[in-house]
A and B are shown apart, each in its own frame.
Chain A
Amino acid sequence: MSDAENPSNPTPDEQTDFEPVQVFDDETEMDLRPGADNCYKCTSCDTSCPVAEVDDDFPGPKFQGPEQWRLKRKGDEDIDDSIMSCSNCMRCDNACPSSVPLSQMHNTARGEYVDEQMDKLSREYIRNRILSNYRIMAEIGSKVPRLTNFALNNSVVQKVNEKVLGITSERDFPEFAQQTFREWWHERGGARVSSEEKKIAYFHGCYSNYNTPEVAKALVRVFEVFGYEIAVPRQRCSGTPMFANGMLDDAERAAEVNVSEFSDLIDEGYDVIASCTSCSMSLRQEYPELFEFHGTAEVSAHTYEAMEYLRIHEDLEAEIENASVEEQSFAYHAPCHARNQGLEHQAVELFRELDGVNIEDVGDSCSGISGTYGWKDEKYDTSMKIGEEMFDHMEHAEGNVGMTECPTCSMQMEHGTGYDIKHPLQLLEEALV
C-alpha cells in the first residue's frame, strides 16, 4: 500500500487512499481545549506572526487560538474561515511566554473547519487535497520523471492548474529525480555498516526521496562515516502538509503507518533521524498533540534532526575543525520549524568553524512559502510579501548559494533569488566523507 514497501517496483494502488470527493464521516474527537485559559493576552504571538504582518485581513494567532475557542465554547459559533490563512509556521508557539499550545489549537480548528464547513466539491477543497497529498503526485510523477518535469512546467499545463485548480502558475514545479532515493538505497543493497550500538532509522520524507535524493544520500554517507547502521523502513508522508490544510484524516492514516514502523525499530534500539525539519517537527510535536496511537510518545522522544543528532552523540565540532572544503559562501536561512525545535543556530555555528566556508545567517524572517501555502493562487502574493525580507537579506549576503534544511523554504529561496540551494548535510558530506 505504500511506496516504501517495495521500493524498486512501487505499486500503483497508492491511489486508493486519494479520493478528492470523499466526505469525511468519521468525526475527529479533538478539542481546542485547555491552554486557552493560560493566555494573558500579551499579544507576543500576534507580533511574531508573519501572515498577520502582511495580511491586514488575518486576525492573528491569538484570535485563531484562545479567543476563537472561548467564542466557540459560549455559543454555536462556526470556526472563522480565516483559519485557512494560517500557514502553520508555528512561530506563535515559540513566542508565547505562557506556553499556550497555539499551533495545536490551529491544527484542530482547521480540521474542524474543513470537516464541517468546507464544501467537499469546491475547487479549494480539491486543490488542497491534491497539494497536501503531494506524495501521491510525486509517486506517479517519479515513474516518468522526464515527462513529468516537462509536462508540469509546460506553461499551458500551468495555466490550466491555475484556472482549474487554483495552483499558482508563478512557480516552477520541483523537478523529479531520475532515480528515487529508495531505488538507490535498494540498488546499493541497503546498509553498508552494521553496528550493535549505533543504529538510526531514517525518515527521509517525500521530498528527499522523489526530488532531492542527493540530500538523503548525503545523510547515509555522513552517518556511515560515523559508524551508524541505517535502516530505511516503510514510511508515508509525515503529515505536515495535511495539518496545514486541515486534512487530519489523511494525516492520521499516514501517521499510523509511520508510528507503527518506527516504533518497532525503536524497540530494537534505533533512533529516528529526519533530514527535513518539518518532518522531525511533525513526528516530535504534532503527532503526540493530535494522535494517540500506540508508540506515538516513543517516536516523539526518539526523533532527531540529523545534524542535531550528530552534535549530541559525536564530536562533530572537532571533526569540522579538522576538515576543509573548497572556498564557498552561503546565505543560510533557518526554517520556522527548525526554530521551533531550537535548531536555528546550529548550521551557522558549526560551519563557521569549517575551513573554506563563509556562512551568513540571513535573518529571522519567515521564507513565506510554508509548504503548500505559497502554491495556492490566492496566497501567492502574501507568500512573496513575507519572503521579501529574506530575499533582500540573501541578496545582500556575501554568498550566492543558499542553504536551508527545509525543502519548501529552499524552493522559495530559489524562486525569489535564482540561487542554488544546498542542504547542510550536503556540506557535511563534502567536509567529512
Chain B
Amino acid sequence: MPIREDVLVVGGGLAAATAALAARETGKSVRLVAHKKSTLRQASGLIDVLGYVDGDGPRANPYGAVADLPEDHPYGLVGEAGIREGLRIFDDAVGDAYAGGHTDANALVPTYGGTVKPTARYPESVAPGLASIDEDTLFVGFEGTTDFSAPVVAEHVVAAGVPFAARGVTVPFPKTFRDDARATRFAKALDEDEAADDGGGVRRALADAVAEHLTDEERVGFPAMLGDDRDAEVREELADRLGVSVFEVPTGPPSLLGLKLEDRLFAALDEAGVRLSTGNPAVGYEADGDRIEAVYVDRKGKNVPYHAEQFVLATGGLVGKGIGSDRERVTEPVFDCHVPHSEDRYEWSESEAFGGHAFARFGVVPDEELRPTAASGEPEFSNLRAAGGVVGGADVAREKSASGVSLATGAVAGGRAGEEA
C-alpha cells in the first residue's frame, strides 16, 4: 500500500505551509512535500500584504487598496475574506512572535536598506522600531558586516520623511570573529553571552560600546542578529543596560528573522499533525482523465508515488523554482500547467529595473477556485489548486504583496482542497 493522504501540498514555503494548515483545519489528513528550504530564509521575515498599487503608495490600508488592483490579480479572486483568512491562519501559527494583528492599517518598518516599508505583520522584535513611533533613533551597525551600514540606514530613513531624528554609528562587535562572519555567529555569541575580547560577557560589552554613542535617543536599532533561541532575553538585557528600547532591523539574506519564521511555521505544521516529507522534489504525476491520482517524488533517481484526493501546488515563483524558464519558454515543471507568456523573449522584461516587468507576473492562471487553467480557460485538473508565487497575475515585489498573496491563496486553496477531499 502506497503513501496516501487526503490532501497533498507540493512546496515548502509560506504558501505551502498556509495551504497545509488550512486543509488540516478541515480535519483531513495532509502531507506536505518540499524539495529545498523555502525562500523564507532569504526573505526579510516581514509579512507584506499590499503596500503599493502600480507604483503608487505607500498605501495605509491594504484592504482599501485591493479594489484598485487589476481584476485578474489573485486578490481579486480570493477577495478580502481570503486575505483575512490567510492572516488568521498566520496569526494562529506564529502566536506572540508577530505583531500587527491589532489593526487593519499597514505598519511602516525601517529596513536594512534604509527604506521604510509598509507591512501587515512584523516580528515582535521589530515592533519598537516602527517609523510611526515618534522617538529619536540611534541605528547601530557592526564593523565587518558589510551589508548593513547604520549611517546610510539612518540617512535614508530621515530622507523618507519620518517624524523623528535618526543617526547611525558603527561599532566593533565586542568579540572578534573572522572577517566574513555570518549573522548566525553574532546571534549565537549573544544567545550564549560568550566572553567578549575584554573577558566579560558580550551582552554587557556591547551595551557599553553603544552607551558611549548614545546621546538623547530614545531607542536603538540593530541589524536583526540579536540572538536566536534567546532573542527576547538578549534584547531585554540590552534595553535594560541602555535604558532605552531596543529593536531589530530586518536584514537581507541570510535572514535570521526569515529563518525563525520558517522554524515557527514548521513547528505549527508539526503540531497540527501535518505530515512532512522534505528533501526530494516532486517531478511529475499520474492522472486518470482530469483527476490527479498521485504525484511522483524523485528520491535520487527513483520516482515514488504519493497518492491523495486533492492536491495543492505551492512551489513558488521563478526564485523558488515553481516556475521554470529557458530561452524559449516559461513553464510550470511539475504538472506542466499553462503559463502564458509572450513568444518574444524580449517582451518578458522592461528596460527599467523597477518597471512593470512581464516576468514578475508569470505564473499559472487560476480560476475562481484557484485551479490552474489551460489556454482554453478550463481547469487543467479537477483536483489541483495553486497558491503562492506559482500563481501569476501579481507583481509582488512592486506591490509589496508577496507574503499576503501566499497567505491568501494558500488559505483558500488549502481550505477548499480540505473540504473536497
**18 pairs across A/B with beta carbons < 8 Å?**
A42-B253, A44-B253, A46-B254, A47-B184, A52-B185, A56-B185, A95-B41, A97-B39, A97-B41, A297-B301, A300-B300, A300-B301, A301-B302, A314-B1, A318-B1, A342-B277, A342-B278, A361-B270
- B7 to nearest A CB, angstroms? 16
In the assembled complex, how far is the CB of residue A253 from the closest CB belonging to chain B, in whole angstroms? 23
Asked if A234 is an interface residue, CB under 8 A from chain B, the answer is no
Alpha-carbon distance A315/B183, docked complex (angstroms): 45
Contact residue among B1, B42, B279, B321 (Cβ-Cβ distance under 8 Å from A342): B279
Complex CA distance for A95 and B258, rounded to whole angstroms? 14
Neighbouring B residues of A95 by C-beta, 8 Å = 36-37, 41
Q: Which listed residue, A47, A312, A313, A349, touches B259 by the CB 8 Å rule?
A: A47
Determine whether the beta carbon of A47 is less than 8 Å from that of B279: no
Rounded to whole Å, the gap between the CB of A125 and the closest CB of chain B is: 27
Select one of B2, B37, B185, B276 contacting A345, CB under 8 A. Answer: B276
- CB-based contact A44/B41 at 8 Å: yes
Contact size range, A:
35 or more
Query: In chain A between 306 and 346, which residues have their CB closer than 8 angstroms to a CB of chain B?
Result: 308, 311-315, 318, 339-345
Considering the chains assembled together, what is the distance between the CA atoms of A403 and B302 in angstroms?
A: 28
A52 contact from B2, B182, B278, B302, Cβ within 8 A: B182
Q: Does B275 sit at the interface, judged by CB under 8 A? A: yes
Chain B residues closer than 8 Å to A138, beta-carbon distance: none
- B42 near A44 (CB under 8 angstroms)? yes
Is the CB–CB distance between A345 and B177 below 8 Å?
no
Q: What distance in Å separates the Cβ of A408 from its nearest Cβ neighbour in chain B?
A: 20
B-chain residues with CB within 8 Å of residue A46 when the two chains form the complex: 182, 184, 254
- Bound state CA distance, A53 and B36, in angstroms? 21
Q: A53-B188, A345-B275 are in contact. List 6 more A-B contacts (CB 8 A).
A: A44-B42, A46-B182, A60-B182, A284-B299, A284-B301, A344-B278
A147–B299 Cα gap in the complex (Å)?
43
User: Is A168 positioned at the interface, with any CB of B under 8 Å from its CB?
Assistant: no
How would residues 56 to 87 of chain B score, 1 for a CB under 8 Å from any chain A CB and 0 otherwise?
Answer: 00000000000000000000000000000000
Q: Which of B2, B254, B259 has the most CB of A within 10 A?
A: B254
A59 adjacent to chain B (CB < 8 Å) = yes
Is B280's CB within 8 Å of the partner chain A? yes
As a 0/1 sequence over residues 170 to 194 of chain B, the CB contacts with chain A under 8 angstroms (1 = contact) are 0000000110111111001000000
Most buried by B among A43, A57, A297, A315: A43
126-160 of chain B: CB within 8 A of chain A: none
Contact pick for A349, options B37, B183, B275, B304, CB 8 Å: B275
Report yes or no: A341 in contact with B181, Cβ–Cβ below 8 A: no
| Structural contact, B42 and A56, CB atoms closer than 8 A | no
Interface residues of A in 41-68 (CB under 8 A from B): 42-44, 46-48, 52-54, 56-57, 59-60
In the assembly, what is the distance between CA of A46 and CA of B259, in Å? 13
Interface positions, chain B 19-60, Cβ under 8 Å from A, are: 36-37, 39, 41-42
Nearest chain-A residue to B31 (Cβ)? A349
Partner of A94, one of B36, B39, B276: B36
Which residue of A has the minimal Cβ distance to B1? A315
Q: A46-B182, A94-B37 are in contact. Are A301 and B301 (CB under 8 A)?
A: yes
> Interface of A with B (CB < 8 Å)?
42-44, 46-48, 52-54, 56-57, 59-60, 94-97, 99, 284-285, 288, 297, 300-302, 308, 311-315, 318, 339-345, 349, 361
B184 surroundings in chain A (CB, below 8 A) = 46-47, 52-53
Q: What's the nearest-Cβ distance from chain B to residue A332, in Å?
A: 12
The 6 nearest A-B residue pairs measured at CB: A342-B279, A315-B1, A301-B301, A47-B254, A342-B280, A284-B300
Determine the distance from Cα of A122 to Cα of B236 in the docked complex, in whole angstroms.
51
B41: contacting residue among A47, A300, A349, CB under 8 A: A47
B36–A342 CB distance below 8 A: no
Inter-subunit contact B37/A44 (CB<8 Å): yes
B291-312 residues at the A interface, CB under 8 angstroms: 299-302, 304
Q: How far is the CB of B36 from chain A (nearest CB, A)?
A: 5
State the Cβ distance, B268 to closest chain A Cβ, in Å.
14
Contact indicator A341/B37 (Cβ below 8 Å): no
B3: Cβ under 8 A from any A Cβ? yes
What is the CA–CA distance of A349 and B319 in the complex, to the nearest angstrom?
30
Question: B320 CB to closest chain A CB, in angstroms?
Answer: 8
> Contact at B178–A59, with CB atoms within 8 Å?
yes
Let me know if A301 and B36 touch, CB within 8 A: no
Query: Inside 8 A of A315's CB, which chain B residues have their CB?
Result: 1
Within the complex, the shortest CB–CB distance from A381 to chain B, in Å, comes to 15
A94→B182 contact, CB < 8 A = no
Q: Which residues from chain B contact A340 at a C-beta distance below 8 Å?
A: 279
Give Cα A60 to B42, complex, Å.
18
Q: How far is the CA of A313 from the CA of B304 in the complex (A)?
A: 10
Measured between beta carbons, the chain B residues less than 8 angstroms from A54 are: 188
* Contacting residues, chain B, for A47 (C-beta < 8 A): 41, 182-184, 254, 259
B36 touches A96 (CB 8 A): yes
A345 with B278: CB separation less than 8 A: yes
Q: Once the chains are docked, how many angstroms separate the CA of A314 from the CA of B183? A: 45
Contact across chains for A97 and B37 when beta carbons are under 8 A apart: yes
Q: Which residues of B contact A43 (CB under 8 A)?
A: 182, 253-254
CB A39 to nearest CB in B, in angstroms, measures: 13
- B261-280 interface mask toward A, CB cutoff 8 Å, 1 = contact, 0 = none? 00000000010000111111
How far in angstroms is the closest Cβ of chain A from B174?
A: 14
Question: When the two chains form their complex, are residues B253 and A311 in contact, meaning their CB atoms are under 8 A apart?
Answer: no
Distance in Å: Cβ of A223 to nearest Cβ of chain B: 16
Q: A47-B41, A312-B3 are in contact. Are A342 and B299 (CB under 8 A)?
A: yes
The minimal Cβ–Cβ distance linking A295 to chain B, given in whole angstroms, is 13
Q: Which residue of B lies closest to A95 (CB)?
A: B37
Closest beta carbon of chain A to B279's beta carbon, Å: 3
Find out whether the CB atom of B182 lies under 8 angstroms from the CB atom of A44.
no
Residue in B42, B270, B300 whose CB lies within 8 Å of A341:
B300
Bound Cα distance from A157 to B420, whole angstroms:
67
* Residues of chain A lying within 8 A (CB to CB) of residue B301: 284, 288, 297, 300-301
Give Cα A407 to B201, complex, Å: 37
